[in-house]
Amino acid sequence: MREIGHFIGGKKVAGTSGRTSDVFNPATGEVQAKVALASVVELRAAVENAKAAQPKWAATNPQRRARVFFKFVDLLNQHMDELATLLSSEHGKTVEDSKGDVIRGLEVCEFVCGIPHLAKGEFTEGAGPAIDMYSIRQPVGIGAGITPFNFPGMIPMWMFAPAIACGNAFILKPSERDPSLPIRLAELMIEAGLPAGILNVVNGDKTAVDAILTDPDIGAVSFVGSTPIARYVYGTAAMNGKRAQCFGGAKNHMIIMPDADMDQAVNALMGAGYGSAGERCMAVSVAVPVGEETANRLVEKLIPKIESLRIGPYTDDKADMGPVVTKDAYNRIQGLINKGIEEGAKLVVDGRDFKLQGYEDGYFVGGCLFDNVTPEMEIYKTEIFGPVLSVVRAHSYEEALSLPMKHEYGNGVAIYTRDGDAARDFASRINIGMIGINVPIPVPLAYHSFGGWKASSFGDLNQHGTDSIKFWTRTKTVTARWPSGIKGGAEFVMPTMK
């Protein structure tokens, strides 16, 4: 049985806590590895390595730090097939989808290659009589990231790339469900020239998370996961004097106006709703057609496409989607589908009994489509995180707009329309963090920031883009006046520019 430990001080190390968790093959249901779950002592060992290495790395000029990421990007491209296959083998998503996972992380690494420019401060000459004023951006010291199972390549890189480029050391606590890829990324960072101890990967559960949140030497924490845990991480980090950015759940709507290109809208919903078996925080899980005619056309076109979804293991290069990640996830999704039926929604495509020949014990859920869903239903309120799309019919644009506006989550939203006025009004009024206009999954590119509103996000700064540079650095402002500019005696009043 393959055993997965940690990556501390520039090398793989075995776990010593005696506690492990199973890593499954989602396509077969078989245990393929055991991953070590760290103790507080093991987490502290990673912190000590980071603490020893960080001052010299912070003193390394930003251009040299950027060169590590130039090399790392090159290595990611060289190893793309290997990385995607490793990711898929533990997550279950298709290899092509996994390549997209890695590439979206790679793009943030490309962005931080510009760290010499991104980390520059500001300067004002003559801010006062013979006074110059300037600001400096300096690393927080040691940062930590707690990442989810659904993007084991992308989200760790969204966190550790800007943190390390800014001169910090980093402790990564990835999901124990698919832990192999983050360790491989750490190996490639070392190959790219990163000093040992700057990036450490510690596998674990709540014990490791709590150790991160209470460790006195960790200054900043980034988290992606469910909203209840995001609230817990944010509150606990704050109580322990750490800055935190925490990203939680989502319920992403797509509004389809009567003038929309229906074929484009349907294709968008297929990819956004069923790609990666719906296990994306930006997946579209609610379709809101405006008007009965629009709704009828939408459902009529969706049904045959959902019924013809090709579902298979990651080794099937023609599969549209694979299994969900674990048996627990499978059972939770099945339970929510049953709940939707109990509450009166119409299950027009039922994928509950899907079985794949030769993979009968795999965690496969067929594509499901609910119609006549209402906001009071559990399947509307809850993030299902599976291949389940709900249609909520709206009689007007205003009614459609009100649905995402009133929902507790505010991660992403989209509108499909040919009407520029409607699109502009939608983008201006909606209280959601990321908006797509004829774009179903509006994940910003690396040089813009990713983050939701409401119960989808906790903290003032988002991921990647310039927000990430601000989050992983502290600003120091210097006011300087040299002796030749100092005139007069002691001043006993508040200095002003009067």
The tens digit of pLDDT for each residue in 350-377 reads: 999 999 999 999 999 999 999 999 999 9
CA–centroid distance for 142 within its chain = 20
- In the chain, what are the domain boundaries? 2-248+456-478, 252-437
pLDDT at 100 (0 to 100): 97
pLDDT at 445 (0 to 100): 95
Q: Which residues pair with 221 in a beta bridge?
A: 144, 244
The Cα diameter of the chain in Å comes to: 90
Give burial (CB, 10 Å; 0-12/13-18/19+) of 41.
exposed
The CATH T-level fold of domain 2-248+456-478 is Aldehyde Dehydrogenase; Chain A, domain 1 (3.40.605)
How, if at all, do strands 169-173 and 199-201 pair?
parallel
pLDDT at 490 (0 to 100): 83
How many CB atoms sit inside 10 A of residue 239's CB?
10
pLDDT at 495 (0 to 100): 75
Q: Do domains 2-248+456-478 and 252-437 have the same CATH topology?
A: no
Q: What angle do CA 76, 81, 86 make, to 5 degrees?
A: 95
3-state secondary structure of 258: coil
pLDDT at 489 (0 to 100): 80
Residues 6+ away with beta carbon under 8 Å from 434: 282, 411, 412, 413, 442, 443, 444, 450, 451, 452
Q: Which residues pair with 437 in a beta bridge?
A: 415
Amino acid at 153: G
Q: Which of 166, 246, 281, 368 does the annotation list as catalytic?
A: 281
Which phi and psi angles does 87 have, rounded to 5°? -60, -50
* Distance, CA of 333 to CA of 405 (rounded, Å): 25
Q: Is 281 a catalytic residue?
A: yes
Residue 38 near residue 200, CB atoms below 8 Å: no
pLDDT at 498 (0 to 100): 66
Amino acid at 140: V
Residues 6+ away with beta carbon under 8 Å from 397: 255, 257, 290, 422
Kindly report the CATH class assigned to 252-437. alpha beta
> Which H helix or E strand runs over 409?
strand 409-410
* Distance, CA of 295 to CA of 271 (rounded, Å): 19
Q: Which residues of the chain have pLDDT under 70?
A: 497-498
